[in-house]
Amino acid sequence: MSGTKTTSMAGMTNIGGISKTAQDPLQTTYDVVVVGSGATGGWAAKQCAEAGLKVALLEAGRAVSPKEFTEHMPAYKLKYRDHSPEVVRTRPVQKQCYACMEYNYEWFVNDLENPYSTPPGKPFTWQRLRVLGGRSLVWGRQSYRMSDNDFKAASHDGYGDDWPIGYADVAPYYDIVEQYVGISGAAERNEMLPDGQFLPPMKMSCGEIQLRERVKAKFGHTVTIGRAAVLTQAHNGRLPCHYCGPCERGCMTFSYFSSPFTTVKDAIASGNCTLFTNAVVSHVDMDTETNKTRGVTYVDRLTRQVKEVRGKAVILCAQALESTRILLNSSTREYPNGLANSSGALGHYLMDHVVGAGASGRLPDFKALPNANQPARPNGIYIPRFRNTPSSKKHSQFIRGYGYQGGGGAQFNFSAEGYGASLKKAVKEGEYEIGLGAFGESLARWDNYIEIDRDLKDAWGIPALHINMTHGDNEAALMEDAGAMGAEMLEAAGAKDIRMHARVEMPGMAIHELGTARMGNDPKKSVLNAFNQAHDVKNLFVMDGASFVSSACQNPTLSMMAITVRACTNLIDRFRKNEI
Amino acid sequence: MKRREMLRASVIAGAAAALGPALSNAQSGAQSSGQPSELTPAQSGVDASKDLAAPGWKPLFLDEHQNQTLIVLSDLIIPATDTPGAKEALVNRYIDLVLAAETPETQRAFLNSLGYLDGESMRRFKSAFRYLAREDQDVLLHALAYPRTGSGWAGDTNAVADPGHGHFEALKGRIMTAFYSSQIGEKELGWDGAFAHGPYQGCEHPEGEHK
């Protein structure tokens, strides 16, 4: 039974695969088996457990403890000061993520144990964690609502499909999630970016305010403070941010939202949730007579023993590609091409926001004077989409649009020229810098897909993915425009030495993977219905980013959580009506 | 300043109260034995900041001449002024440690750059760089420190291919990284060693006057 026992963590000392009760957790039939403990899995476990359902929550990695947080450790205490060869050796893919560092690389998957393949010339970077809380431990925390224009994008420009749900369907659940998570931000009444339930916004720097004023005056576009899942005041038992900076290394005050210390903790505290850590789920088990799932099979990450967890319903929240991988690996005679795949759409319409364009420059209007003892704001500014909106004319080169993240402030000038005492002085005098980076919509395309690579298995013998994705002409046109517009807006703000970039980075770089088990009203064209329930298997649900029909251009985690809460509300209702 | 200190104290006290014993364990780096650790050294609380200063230190990758050349060069790039410089920060030792773990290509590139410096020094002054008089070292470094362009006489001010400047920038980059990531480097930037400095204040100027 080793491997299902969790180490202690704040408020969760008595949990683990082995509960203290006499009942064997593996002989229990749970109401709901939730696979994945990240942003969406945490919510699914919390909602179901607090509603009185018996929940098994399965996480492929180990538990995580606040003892291992390193946000206050200076780089000089690291042996290699963040240039560790161990990261390079074991995480050649993961280290492409800015958040994978010598501090915390053990939170990220070991690439040697977790392979995937891509076609020649079509790289895809798949950056992920296997530890309780998943990527919610290191996420960028930017939290934006999607608008009705996003849910109904196809109706606006004729490309692709509308979602089976609209903004009004999700809005109440955005409220629930925001009120619990704590999102700091400012209301802007923007047609593409609905306002939410905000905690007080973080402040903007002088340069950012100048950009905001001049961009509004010259272009009519909105520059706002980032909407971040970082507390600006005490909230739901968590302390406000202490502005130390590197959230991705953990937070001793739990000021940024991560599931282990919020949703998962609540689920456990309800007394209705049993946590299985180190449970690498290989497939969903089917009862072919009833055409219903009866639970999942997992491989114990440490002992390699194969075990089953029984449930009346299964909710996959394993991350978009992982959830679909589980379904593809769950083929039966009835579903030879992957479970719940009578449509053939499973694995298709993979999306990831296109990045690689933006601009940066200096703002000589402002005194630089960087200060190492300044509070470090874990947030930036945001410019919501202004292309192809209801109030702007259609762009001739592309459909949809992009938003920018960015920021401005005094920085030490580590690129000062020369050498000697003058160099030392120039570094400290600094520069006042400002920059913008775009996130563009990734169109849902049938030919961006994942499938099982029959020749490749992970360290637990589970068939691995072949990921086939490229960004297309529309994404390239978005980035071209985003580079030029970024430079133009910085110029309006008074920036000098402007540098523009308009690359298309490889897919995966935005770490916003979406789609592959899309929702839809038509079972012939989609995998899930409007409540994230598989069309084909009535007690099977996928409640993570896999369900997305289109990607919009906003960071998707907030929407994923709201959609999960909506789907769980429906599922709980079905349990009450005895429909599961 | 007083307001900030107060805020900082309250944040830390609040955090300690919220975490209780867990925090004190984290600070002592305590770790249970048994299962192989799946924590990074940093997550286990390992503090490697004193390693490079260990008595009897020997280079892992550089030979004695290369090491001494790097010490001389780093001291010229970031000299001690009213504050300590690269030599005191032992940047040569950190660079040696990182290079020892690097790929052969990266190792070779570094030695090429260091070798270029000695090559130019031999060509112009008939002596290896580290033995030159200080003014000759300056003559050599000034020739490498800035990008070259055409003279402008015939209207041509385009950049001129200049391997020397590239080698200089490569060496300087390593030295800058090593220095400013050291404890001495953090102090040079004015860091007081505290991790929290009160809430971010942003622009505090009146409307329209944020300069």
Write out pLDDT tens, residues A26-80.
Answer: 889 999 999 999 999 999 999 999 999 999 999 999 999 999 999 999 999 999 9
Q: Name the pairing type of β-strands A402-411 and A381-383.
A: antiparallel
Which of B195, B207, B211 best probes binding to A when mutated, by most A CB atoms within 10 angstroms? B195
Burial label for B28, CB within 10 Å (0-12, 13-18, 19+), is exposed
Please check whether residue B5 lies inside any domain of the structure. Answer: no
Residue boundaries of the structural domains of chain A? 29-576
* Residues of chain B contacting residue A243, judged by C-beta atoms under 8 Å apart: 196-200
Please check whether residue B66 lies inside any domain of the structure. Answer: yes
Residue A415 pLDDT grade (very low, low, confident, very high; cuts 50, 70, 90): very high
pLDDT at B208: 65
Do residues A235 and A179 lie in contact, with contact meaning Cβ atoms separated by under 8 Å?
no
The answer to whether B81 contacts A424, with C-beta atoms less than 8 Å apart, is yes
CB neighbour list of residue B169: distance below 8 Å, 6 or more residues apart: none
CA B56, CA B54: separation in Å to the nearest integer? 6
Average pLDDT over residues A189-218: 97
Choose among A534, A524, A522: nearest CA to A343.
A524
Whether B193 has a pLDDT exceeding 80, the answer reads: yes
Average pLDDT over residues B106-132: 98
Q: What angle do CA A62, A240, A553 make, to 5 degrees?
A: 70
CA A264, CA A317: separation in Å to the nearest integer? 13
Do residues A17 and A277 lie in contact, with contact meaning Cβ atoms separated by under 8 Å?
yes
Residue A7 pLDDT grade (very low, low, confident, very high; cuts 50, 70, 90): very low
Average pLDDT over residues B192-206: 90
Average pLDDT over residues A555-578: 97
CA B149, CA B160: separation in Å to the nearest integer? 5
CA A552, CA A536: separation in Å to the nearest integer? 27
Q: Check: CATH 3.50.30.10 for A29-576?
A: no
Choose among A126, A130, A140: nearest CA to A105.
A130
**How far is C-alpha B153 from the geometric centre of its chain's CA atoms?**
40
Whether B116 has a pLDDT exceeding 90, the answer reads: yes
Please check whether residue B12 lies inside any domain of the structure. Answer: no
Q: Where are the alpha helices (DSSP H) in A420-577?
A: 421-429, 473-492, 557-576
pTM of the full structure: 0.92
Whether A449 has a pLDDT exceeding 90, the answer reads: yes
The domain in which residue B138 lies consists of: 51-188
CA B183, CA A80: separation in Å to the nearest integer? 13
CA A214, CA A326: separation in Å to the nearest integer? 50
- How many other CB atoms are there within 10 angstroms of residue A210's CB atom? 25
Burial label for A497, CB within 10 Å (0-12, 13-18, 19+), is exposed
Q: Which residues pair with B62 in a beta bridge?
A: none
**How far is C-alpha A94 from the geometric centre of its chain's CA atoms?**
15
pLDDT at A110: 97
Render A7-41 in DSSP notation, one character per residue.
PP-TT-TT-SSS-SSSS-TTT-EEEEEEE--SHHH
Which H or E run includes A168?
helix A167-181
* Residues of chain A contacting residue B195, judged by C-beta atoms under 8 Å apart: 71-72, 242, 244
Q: Name the pairing type of β-strands A354-362 and A431-440.
A: antiparallel
Do residues A517 and A324 lie in contact, with contact meaning Cβ atoms separated by under 8 Å?
yes
- How many other CB atoms are there within 10 angstroms of residue B211's CB atom? 11
Do residues A507 and A469 lie in contact, with contact meaning Cβ atoms separated by under 8 Å?
yes
Please check whether residue B204 lies inside any domain of the structure. Answer: no
Whether A19 has a pLDDT exceeding 50, the answer reads: no
What's the whole-number average pLDDT of chain A? 95
| ipTM confidence | 0.89
CA A167, CA A152: separation in Å to the nearest integer? 9
The answer to whether B199 contacts A106, with C-beta atoms less than 8 Å apart, is no
Please check whether residue B99 lies inside any domain of the structure. Answer: yes
Do residues A56 and A274 lie in contact, with contact meaning Cβ atoms separated by under 8 Å?
yes
Nearest CA in chain B to A378: B200
Nearest CA in chain A to B5: A373
Q: With pLDDT > 90 as the criterion, what percentage of chain A qualifies? A: 94
pLDDT at B199: 92
What's the whole-number average pLDDT of chain B? 85
Compare CB distances from A377 to B97, B192, B200 and report the shortest one's residue: B200
The answer to whether A73 contacts B42, with C-beta atoms less than 8 Å apart, is yes
The answer to whether B85 contacts A424, with C-beta atoms less than 8 Å apart, is yes
Nearest CA in chain A to B206: A206
The answer to whether A67 contacts B22, with C-beta atoms less than 8 Å apart, is yes
Whether A11 has a pLDDT exceeding 80, the answer reads: no
pLDDT in tens, A208-261: 999 999 999 999 999 999 999 999 999 999 999 999 999 999 999 999 999 999
Please check whether residue B95 lies inside any domain of the structure. Answer: yes
Nearest CA in chain B to A81: B181
pLDDT at B36: 60
CB neighbour list of residue B104: distance below 8 Å, 6 or more residues apart: none
pLDDT at B35: 53
Whether A562 has a pLDDT exceeding 50, the answer reads: yes
CA A256, CA A507: separation in Å to the nearest integer? 27
CB neighbour list of residue A413: distance below 8 Å, 6 or more residues apart: A368, A426, A427, A429, A430, A431
Compare CB distances from A79 to B43, B48, B203 and report the shortest one's residue: B48
Residue B96 pLDDT grade (very low, low, confident, very high; cuts 50, 70, 90): very high
pLDDT in tens, B124-147: 999 999 999 999 999 999 999 998
Tokens 């690996």 belong to which residue?
Answer: A329
Split into its structural domains, chain B has a count of 1
Which of A8, A13, A79, A278 best probes binding to B when mutated, by most B CB atoms within 10 angstroms? A79
Please check whether residue B132 lies inside any domain of the structure. Answer: yes
